[in-house]
Amino acid sequence: MRVRALKDILHSLQNAAEAAGRPVPRLLAVSKTQDATAVAELIQAGQLAFGENYVQEAAAKRAALAGSGVEWHLIGHLQSNKARDAAELFDWVHTVDRSRLIEALARHRAPDRAPLNVLIQVNIDDEASKHGCAPDDVPALAAAIAAQPRLRLRGLMVIPTPHPDPEQRRDAFRRTRALFEALQAGHPGVDTLSMGMSDDFAVAIAEGATMVRIGTALFGARPPKEPH
């Protein structure tokens, strides 16, 4: 039935894009807390991009699914002391928000691999408890990433303040898109705006998301307390 959920989601993404007159975004299947068997089921059905929050958890799944052609994305906060593992395990990191991390990821990305795809995480609602850089810091971080040949700047990622009504997040998505377009003007390789989750992807797509990160709607509800 996960395969069924995948088809339903792909259909919903298409509908949301059509309704908004926007291109259909890429689907990132968020597989945190799900086991390798659940991921394998979706791989079989053609889903090849997966998002993980924790480096160790991703390492185990990646090993179990070696050779499956999966693209692994880190979407959880990254501590600097895990940058080496992250640079080795992932194809994309969505949560780059400080210059130390940029240097560490670049230093540890092996020369025989493709450059690591990087998104800058923006704390768009200026939440004290949140990770992500201030909107004003985006240009300097972007320049630092662009200066690293082992990294490839692809765009921005955002997690707006949670709100029961997704409409309340529209303004945050809109402000992120404005930042994204400003970034594109200076960095022609920038093509990815990662925003929208199970409960707000339609609003995010209407406001310019090119990649949505969906967990619950694909795999069902996660246990209330997550590991780590």
Ligand X SMILES: *Cc1c(COP(=O)(O)O)cnc(C)c1O
| Element of type H or E holding 206 | helix 201-206
Minimum Å distance from CB 110 to ligand X? 26
Candidate segments 3-11, 126-134, 170-178, 211-219, binder of ligand X by CB under 6 A: 211-219
For the four alpha carbons of 201, 83, 109 and 121, in that order, the dihedral sign comes to: positive
The number of residues in the chain equals 228
Taking CA atoms, 77 is separated from 116, 120, 203, in Å, by 16, 12, 24
Q: Please say which residue, 119 or 183, places its beta carbon nearer to ligand X.
A: 119
Taking CA atoms, 138 is separated from 63, 80, 135, 145, 183, in Å, by 34, 19, 6, 10, 8
Minimum Å distance from CB 147 to ligand X? 26
Minimum Å distance from CB 185 to ligand X? 26
> Total residues contacting ligand X (rule CB under 6 A)?
14
Minimum Å distance from CB 67 to ligand X? 26
155 binds ligand X (CB under 6 A): no
73 binds ligand X (CB under 6 A): no
Q: Rounded distance, CA 76 to CA 90, Å?
A: 12
Site string for ligand X, 2-41 (x = CB under 6 A): ----------------------------x-x---------
- Hey, which residues does 116 pair with through a beta bridge? 151
If we measure between CA atoms, which residue out of 183, 178, 199 comes closest to residue 138?
183
Candidate segments 42-50, 170-178, 180-188, 209-217, binder of ligand X by CB under 6 A: 209-217
Going by DSSP bridges, is the β-strand pair 26-30/211-214 parallel, antiparallel, or unpaired? parallel
Q: Please say which residue, 148 or 213, places its beta carbon nearer to ligand X.
A: 213
Minimum Å distance from CB 49 to ligand X? 13
Residues contributing to the site for ligand X (CB under 6 A): 30, 32, 53, 75-76, 159, 197-199, 213-217
